[in-house]
Amino acid sequence: MNLADLNKVALAMVAPGKGILAADESSGTIKKRFDAIKVESTEDNRRDYREMLFRSQDAMSKYISGVILYDETIWQNAKDGTPLVKLIEQAGSIPGIKVDEGTQPLPGCPGELVTVGLDKLAERLKKYYERGARFAKWRAVIDIGSGGGGSGTGGRGIPTMTAIRVNAHALARYAALCQAAQIVPIVEPEVLMDGDHDIDRCYEVTQRVLNRTFQELRVQRVALEGMILKPNMAISGKKCPKQASVQEVAEKTVRLLKSCVPAAVPGIAFLSGGQSDEEATAHLDAMNKIGNLPWGLTFSYGRALQAAPQKAWSGKAENVPAGQRAFSHRARMNGLASTGKWDAGLEQQAA
């Protein structure tokens, strides 16, 4: 492992004014997105859509530091035969790859999941590196049970410490394998925002998850200088009757991260987790306006960057320029938010 090189890539991934495009939707997920815009999810259509994004020169060169790819995508070529990874590199961005293989039910813990894919990961990482990937992503999924309670408090007892420990262990094992393969790991422990919990319950669960994750990372000798953290924000569940304000989300998320994330980590790239485009941007901006942070705070958004360009494109070649304009607008908004220079008035500008 060459830690200096890993650190260089990690710092580039969270460069001021730039963030990461999560274009790693599984075939099932992108089918749902395409269904919404009435586009058939064929291999060619998926390629054409992603090629449109990667050829958005304004967005890619100015605001996108890296792109997380799905296994299908990293091996695909553009219509003119150029590998898609080369389009990303030519734009000055860094290719990355999602390496987890989804989730399975966690035995003994009804309703909870564990992420799988460690088998033969070392061999896969070698092939991805040869193809051009310089970072990877592994997502762990932690749910919060309804009722807001922990074990014995009237809630469903979810998440259990078993689920937190098993997923944290897998994240750290993945991260160690990545660094051994000279690939920067994005460590993504996502506490879902789907429930009825309030922001304080999210804070408490996320704190436990992050503390356990960093404990496992230390045990497995992962160099913190050569990784990126991709967490959820401290935020109210979607079904919670009391939604926290933008400022409360920002203040509590920053306080949470300062209590859990070592300063040695080069940067934190948030997932959007189902927030709307503008919510995800506003929350990131408010955090960066707080300032005095030991690490860079930026974005690693999927839907919050892609919903607008997908709708503008709608599978039609003549709509590619409109799709690229929409993508550039969202990328610029989040680039500004990553330096605390966004405001709601900018959203009124035409995409």
The average pLDDT across 70-83 equals 97
The model's pTM is: 0.94
Q: What CA–CA distance (Å, rounded) separates 108 from 162?
A: 9
Rounded to whole angstroms, the Cα distance separating 281 from 339 reads: 11
**Interior CA angle at 117 toward 138 and 97, to 5°?**
45
For residue 300, the cross-strand partners are 20
Kindly report, residue by residue over 251-284, the tens digit of the pLDDT: 999 999 999 999 999 999 999 998 999 999 999 9
Please give the pLDDT value at position 291: 87
What string of DSSP letters covers 125-156? HHHHHHHT--EEEEEEEE---TTS--TTTTS-
Average pLDDT of the residues in 112-135: 98
User: What was the pLDDT predicted at 320?
Assistant: 97
Q: Could you confirm whether domain 3-342 is CATH 3.30.420.40?
A: no
Q: Tokens 């495009």 sit at which residue? A: 21
pLDDT on residue 282: 97
Average pLDDT of every residue of the chain: 95
Q: Is the pLDDT of residue 10 over 90?
A: yes
Which pLDDT score, from 0 to 100, does residue 312 have?
Answer: 96
Mean pLDDT for 316-328 is: 96
The pLDDT-based confidence of 155 (bands split at 50, 70, 90) is very low
Instruction: Grade residue 351 by pLDDT with cuts at 50, 70 and 90.
Output: very low
CA 76 to chain centre: 22
For residue 93, what are its two tokens? 């961005």
Task: Provide the residue type at 162 as one letter.
Answer: T
Question: Of these residues, 18, 137, 230, 252, which one is catalytic?
Answer: 230
Catalytic residue (choose from 25, 188, 190, 216): 188
pLDDT band of 153, cuts 50, 70, 90: very low
DSSP labels, 241-286 = SSPPPHHHHHHHHHHHHHHHS-TTS-EEEE--TT--HHHHHHHHHH
Percent of the chain with pLDDT over 70: 96
User: Half-sphere exposure of residue 217, counting CA atoms within 13 Å on the CB side?
Assistant: 28
pLDDT at residue 147, rounded to an integer = 57
In this predicted model, what pLDDT tens digit does every residue of 16-50 receive, in sequence order? 999 999 999 999 999 999 999 999 999 999 999 99
pLDDT tens sequence across 175-230: 999 999 999 999 999 999 999 999 999 999 999 999 999 999 999 999 999 999 99
Q: What are phi and psi of 105, to 5 degrees?
A: -60, 140
For residues 310 and 279, the answer to whether their CB atoms sit within 8 Å is no
Mean pLDDT of 320-334: 97
The predicted pLDDT at position 151 comes to: 36
Cα separation, 246 vs 233, whole angstroms: 11
Segments making up each domain of the chain, as ranges: 3-342
Among this protein's residues, is 188 annotated catalytic? yes
> How many other β-carbons are positioned within 10 Å of the β-carbon of residue 68?
28
Active site residue 230: yes
User: Residue 298 above 50 pLDDT?
Assistant: yes
Q: How far apart are alpha carbons 270 and 280 in whole angstroms?
A: 9
Amino acid 156: pLDDT? 56
152 pLDDT higher than 90: no
- For residue 295, pLDDT beyond 50: yes
